[in-house]
A and B are shown apart, each in its own frame.
Chain A
Amino acid sequence: SYDLTQPLSVSVALGQTATITCEGDNIRNKNVYWFQQRPGQAPVLVIYRDSHRPSGIPERFSGSNSGNTATLTIGRVQAGDEADYYCQVWDSNTGVFGAGTKVTVV
């Protein structure tokens, strides 16, 4: 099975940039998706196919994918960005999620 590794937590100061990584073997060969889950809410898609933003997602959210690491970057972090973030890929027709990264805004 395919494994995705995310940092357990990321801490970022208000207004600064948060970087969340997602590591997987040759992940550059897969399309990566990112989801935001605020406490008590359903997940929301924030990046699809590595770097595309769905309508309604601020430009502050961006994604990239290279080598063995995909990255979600959140610029000018706001208090409302405090949430769990999950990366996801498809492997052999099966969805695989990373364990999630808790982003704390300080």
Chain B
Amino acid sequence: EVQLVQSGAEVKKAGASLRISCKGSGYSFGSYWISWVRQMPGKGLEWMGRIDPKDSYTNYSPSFEGHVSISADKSINTAYLQWTSLKASDTAMYYCTRLNILTGYDFPLFWMDVWGQGTTVTVSS
């Protein structure tokens, strides 16, 4: 079974650093990109960025560029989302997703076909 299992809930103070993880299983981890999605309390989904675990190439949504960093360690089938200085406004649920890929077109087609269970991050000021 294809699965993404995320690390547990975090409670931090503003200014702290944090790294949450997403471990893939049941498929060839290096063959699929991973993306991260934020959902603030009571709000909708926001795409943050994605990474190719093969070579750690990343691209970010302009809304999140410079505020978070995405990394991956393909040797342990794990992707990460990291903050160096949390803010209260980072309080949210964070999901990792696998990006399925279809090539053979002018450019690859990606879609988020498998989602992790989510990691709740609570930041107090």
Q: Please report A residues at the B interface, Cβ cutoff 8 Å.
A: 1, 31, 33, 35, 37, 42-45, 48-49, 54, 84, 86, 88, 90, 93-100
Q: With A31-B111, A43-B37, A45-B112 given, name 5 new contacts (CB 8 A).
A: A33-B111, A35-B45, A37-B45, A90-B110, A95-B37
B117's contact among A1, A33, A42, A84, by CB below 8 Å, is which? A42
Is the CB–CB distance between A95 and B113 below 8 Å?
no
B115's contact among A31, A43, A97, by CB below 8 Å, is which? A43
Which among A37, A88, A95 has the highest number of chain B CB atoms within 10 Å?
Answer: A95
Chain A nearest Cβ from B17, distance in angstroms:
25
| B118 adjacent to chain A (CB < 8 Å) | yes
CB contacts (< 8 Å) of B100 on chain A: these are 48
Is the CB–CB distance between A44 and B115 below 8 Å?
yes
Is the CB–CB distance between A97 and B46 below 8 Å?
yes
B118's contact among A1, A42, A95, by CB below 8 Å, is which? A42
Q: What are 18 A-B contacts defined by CB distance under 8 Å?
A: A31-B109, A31-B111, A35-B45, A42-B95, A42-B116, A43-B45, A45-B111, A45-B115, A48-B113, A49-B102, A86-B45, A88-B45, A94-B47, A95-B37, A97-B46, A99-B44, A100-B44, A100-B45
Is the CB–CB distance between B45 and A94 below 8 Å?
no
Docked CA distance A42–B37 (Å): 11
Q: Please report B residues at the A interface, Cβ cutoff 8 Å.
A: 35, 37, 44-47, 50, 59, 61-62, 95, 100, 102, 109-113, 115-118
Is the CB–CB distance between B59 and A93 below 8 Å?
yes
The list of the 10 closest CB pairs from A to B, nearest first, reads: A95-B47, A100-B44, A42-B115, A97-B45, A48-B111, A99-B44, A94-B61, A33-B111, A42-B118, A45-B113
CB contacts (< 8 Å) of B111 on chain A: these are 31, 33, 45, 48-49
Is the CB–CB distance between B61 and A95 below 8 Å?
yes
Chain A nearest Cβ from B112, distance in angstroms:
6
Closest residue to B113 on the A side, CB-wise?
A45
